[in-house]
Amino acid sequence: MKTQGRGRWVGPRGLRWAGLILSCLCALSVAQAERIKDLGTFQGVRENPLLGYGLVVGLDGTGDQVRQSPFTQQSLTNMLSQLGITVPQGTNMQVKNVAAVMVTARLPAFTQPGQMVDVVVSSLGNAKSLRGGTLLMTPLKGVNGQVYALAQGNLLVGGAGASQGGSSVQVNQLNAGVIPGGAIVERDVPTTYVRDGIVRLDLNSSDFGTAQNLTQALNRTFGSRTARALDGRTIELRAPLQTDDQLAFLSQVENLQVNLPPARARVVVNARTGSVVMNRTVTIDEAAVSHGNLSVVISQHDDVDQPDTPFGGGETVVTRQTDIQVQAADGAIRRVATSTNLAEVVRALNLLGATPQDLLSILQNLKSAGALRADLEII
């Protein structure tokens, strides 16, 4: 069975599990070129996290209970005092439309004062919902304690209650929301990515083959000694000294296409949902596994293809084929012939009603026996 060049989704058709879905995604496409901007980032070009504490007002009786969240009352008292309103000491304010919140944002690289960034607002106390609330002006600080942005605005909180069979089902989280463009940048963060004509490119993942291919592609395009790999993750580039030339150079670097080496064979299994994801380099060898009421037998044989007529000038071709047979205790057999990928094994197990735990145990046994040629990662 030839499956190269095609992606295949192996799913549990016809299975009747109580809320369990077993799926297998096998990426079988051939290796293709990727842009450098999708493989890594330039050192120094990064986002900076911002954090602030504030108050959300205008809630419809779903705010904090001040007795259980005393910091909400303290914050409200401090805010009113700054506005010239004095609250008598010892006053127990029973407000239900105010909630204490934490406000977070990410300041992108090259952001200038006056530009807008999105903010995320999350309840800090015991508020039931932030829907319909308004965030009061909140300073957002960086790790150095300086204020870099001011946030304020109306919250966008998703999720409405849905009724199913007489019971209420809450779809989304109501104690957090976003304010698109809710913060105004007050201070910029200097971004330095070129030092003495040297730029460093950090790959998203460490791989010596990718670093070598990327270095060779850069040197072919921009000339020898333009790039050199410092290790499996960092590549050093010689950039032009002029700023305008640097921008054009880095733009060309980002959009350069690079052929990637075959990825490391890996199988990722979600033990809670039974989902299985594997890449195209996963293969299996001969093995026999018995687990509960299921058994899996993987065998190999040589398939000889001879010319139709003697002395016809053709050649005899011998190919190595793998036969997979999966059998349940009730005698049901699912046979997958001439396959060398794990996706067919998972599909056969699905059709016989294997549970996620059955599949996980079988994959672990195949790995322990050395028949599964891949890294097995369980999340």
Strands 134-141 and 48-57: antiparallel
115, 181 Cβ separation under 8 angstroms:
no
27: amino acid identity, one letter:
A
Of 136, 226, 228, 124, the C-alpha closest to 175 is 124
Assigned token pair, 82: 């700054």
- Reading the chain (379 residues) residue by residue, the pLDDT tens digits are 333 333 333 333 333 332 333 333 333 344 467 899 999 999 989 999 999 999 999 998 888 887 778 888 888 888 888 888 888 877 777 788 999 999 999 999 999 999 999 999 999 988 899 999 999 999 999 999 999 999 999 999 875 444 444 444 555 678 999 999 999 999 999 888 898 889 999 999 888 999 999 999 999 999 888 999 999 999 999 999 888 888 899 999 999 999 888 778 888 887 777 777 777 777 777 666 666 666 767 666 666 666 655 555 556 665 555 566 666 655 555 555 444 566 666 766 666 667 777 777 777 877 777 777 788 888 8
Domains in the chain: boundaries: 8-31+264-378, 48-158+171-185, 194-259
Please say whether the dihedral angle defined by the alpha carbons of residues 71, 75, 78 and 84, taken in this order, is positive or negative: negative
- Location of structure tokens 């001969």: 286
How far is residue 73's CA from residue 93's CA, in Å, rounded to a whole number? 7
How far is residue 156's CA from residue 180's CA, in Å, rounded to a whole number? 8
Please calculate the CA angle 85-91-96 and round it to the nearest 5 degrees: 85
R_g over Cα of the chain: 30
How far is residue 107's CA from residue 186's CA, in Å, rounded to a whole number? 11
Assigned token pair, 233: 């993750």
Assigned token pair, 189: 């963060």
CATH number corresponding to 194-259? 3.30.70
pLDDT reported for residue 56: 94
Please calculate the CA angle 183-188-193 and round it to the nearest 5 degrees: 130
14, 351 Cβ separation under 8 angstroms:
yes
Q: DSSP string covering 64-108, please?
A: --TTT-HHHHHHHHHHHHHTT-PPPTT-----SSEEEEEEEEEE-
How far is residue 294's CA from residue 324's CA, in Å, rounded to a whole number? 13
Cα pseudo-dihedral 4, 8, 14, 16, rounded to 10: 120
pLDDT digits (tens, 9 = 90+) for 302-335: 666 666 555 555 566 655 555 666 666 555 555 5
How far is residue 300's CA from residue 322's CA, in Å, rounded to a whole number? 4
pLDDT reported for residue 301: 61
Question: What is the H or E stretch that residue 327 is in?
Answer: strand 317-328
How far is residue 66's CA from residue 351's CA, in Å, rounded to a whole number? 56
